[in-house]
Amino acid sequence: FVARFDSAGNPLWLRSMWSDGYNLPTCITVDDNQNSYVVYKFYGTYLTDGIDTTFYSGNSISSVLVKYDRNGIVDWRRETTGPIQSSWAYDVCIDSKNNVCVVGGYIGSYIVLNQDTVYANTSSTWEMYVEKYDSLGNVLQSRGFWTDNVCMGNCIALDSADNMFIT
């Protein structure tokens, strides 16, 4: 679930996503307009918020970025697709222009991040991806990174010039 509370601790809204498998929100951030951005990883044949439902093959763990407006209404969702065995989004942050940056990892020959394809070095180890969206959900940047061993993006931070730092 995702919840918003006021500064006194009073609940303002609570939202859930569910599937026929499981889903796990891994990180949340908020922009200057009080929109919330949540990254989920889930397993199942569908993911729904009760209004919009997206169907999947159900044979891998997938990642989703969801934008909620200040009232907790889903504004948009972006999913990872492709012939991947698994994809996990781990962290999300907002830059000075209210663009959304996501970091995670995947196993597979390539991953499709909202119509941008990032090709893997190998399909048998974890490889890192980073993506940047504008506040409307349009892809501004998609990149993949790999090493000879496991390469997973776990955390992302930005400096005052919007340079990305990733672990």
pLDDT of amino acid 50: 72
pLDDT of amino acid 143: 73
Radius of gyration in angstroms for the set of CA atoms belonging to the chain, rounded to a whole number? 16
pLDDT of amino acid 13: 92
Q: What residues of the chain score a pLDDT lower than 70?
A: 54-60, 81-86, 108-125, 144-153
Nearest 10 degrees: CA dihedral of 36, 2, 57, 85?
A: 80
Per-residue pLDDT of 120-131, as tens digits, reads 555 566 777 888
Letter for the amino acid at 89? Answer: A
Q: Give the global pTM.
A: 0.81
Q: Is the CB of residue 113 less than 8 Å from the CB of residue 140? A: no
Residue 115, judged by CB atoms within 10 A of its CB (0-12, 13-18, 19+), counts as exposed
Task: Tell me the C-alpha to C-alpha distance, in Å, between residue 134 and each of 32, 53, 57, 67, 131.
Answer: 13, 23, 28, 11, 10
pLDDT of amino acid 46: 74
Beta bridge partners of 39: 27, 65
pLDDT of amino acid 55: 67
Per-residue pLDDT of 35-46, as tens digits, reads 999 998 877 777
pLDDT of amino acid 136: 95
Question: Which pair of structure tokens corresponds to residue 133?
Answer: 């969206």
